[in-house]
Amino acid sequence: MTHDALARPTLARWLTGPRVAGLPAPLIGGPAPLLSFEFFPPRTEALEAQLWTCIRRLEPLHPRFVSVTYGAGGSTHARTHATVARILAETTLTPAAHLTCIGASRAEVDAVAARYWEAGVRHIVALRGDPPPGEAYIPHPDGYRYAADLVAGLRKVAAFEISVAAYPETHPQALSPEADLDNLKRKLDAGATRAITQYFFDAGVYLRFLDRCLAAGITAPIVPGIMPVSNFAQAARFSAQCGASVPDWLARMFEGTEDDPDIRRMVAVVAAAEQVRLLQANGVDEFHFYTLNRPELTYAIAHILGVRPKAG
C-alpha cells in the first residue's frame, strides 16, 4: 500500500467526522478538589492490616473526612465503632461513622449515636441500611423507618454534621424517580447538610441528576461517589444489585483483561480518571471515593485531580 492510500482514509475521516476538543487542563495553581474516602471495617487481622496500610497511604492527602461503613443489617456495629475510635485516636483524620436504621430500636440507635458523640465523633452518615442479602427490608417495630427519620432523630441526640445517600439512577426500591428525589429533599430538610451519591460510571448520569436536584430546589452539596473499579466482573455483579448501570464502553475497556491484573489496574485508572476529569471540567470540586480499603487507585486518581500530599 502506498503512503497516499494510507493517508487518505484518515484525512477523509478528519474532514467528515466529529471534532472533539480535549478536556481543559486543570488550572495550574488553582484549588485542588476536596476529597473524602470511605473504608469498611475489617473482619480479620489480615484485613485490619490492609485497612491501616490504606489509611496511612491516603492520610497525607488530607481528605475533608473519612467514613467507615456499617455492615448489612447493622452487623458490624462494634467493628465500625472500633475503627472510627482508632482513626480518631491515632491519625490526623476526621472520621465520620455510618449509622443505619436496620434491626434496632430508636433508643438503641440513639444510644450508639450518643456514644459516638462522647467519643468525639461529630459526623454521621445516616442511612436506612440494607437487610442481609436475599431478605426484604422490614423496619424494626420501634425503629427509625427511613433515613429521613434517622436524620431527624440524630438532630435530637447532638449537633452532628450529617451526610445522607443520593441515587443519580434512582434507588432500586423507590416508588418513582420523583418520589426518590422528594425523599432526598426530606433528608436534607430534616437536617442533613450533604448528600453522597451511589457510584455511577457515566458522568452524564450524575450531571443530569444535579439538574434534577436543582429543579427540585435542592442546594446542599451532592458529592459524587467514585468507585475506582479494578475487578470489572465483580463490579458488574454488584452494580446490578444496587441499580448502578454499567455502560457498554466500560465493559469494552475491560474486555480481555480478566487474566491480566496489571493491565486491568492501568485500565481502571484511565477509566476513573476520564470520569473525574470530565466532572472536574464541569465544575465539580468535591469527590467521595469508595476505596474498598485499597489505596493505589484512589491515590492515583486523586493525584490526577491535582491533590498532592501535605506534611502534618
Question: What are the residues binding ligand FAD (CB under 6 A)?
Answer: 69-70, 72, 98, 100, 125, 127-130, 146-147, 165, 171, 173-175, 179-180, 183, 187, 196, 198, 225
Nine cell digits for residue 121? 465523633
Nearer to ligand FAD, 170 or 231 (CB): 170
Q: Is 38 a catalytic residue?
A: yes
In angstroms, rounded to a whole number, what is the distance separating the alpha carbons of residues 222 and 243? Answer: 18
In angstroms, rounded to a whole number, what is the distance separating the alpha carbons of residues 128 and 114? Answer: 18
Nearer to ligand FAD, 127 or 250 (CB): 127
Nearer to ligand FAD, 223 or 307 (CB): 223
Nearer to ligand FAD, 95 or 254 (CB): 95
Nearer to ligand FAD, 86 or 185 (CB): 185
Residue type, 147: A
Least distance (Å) between residue 169 CB and ligand FAD: 11
Supply the residues annotated as catalytic: 38
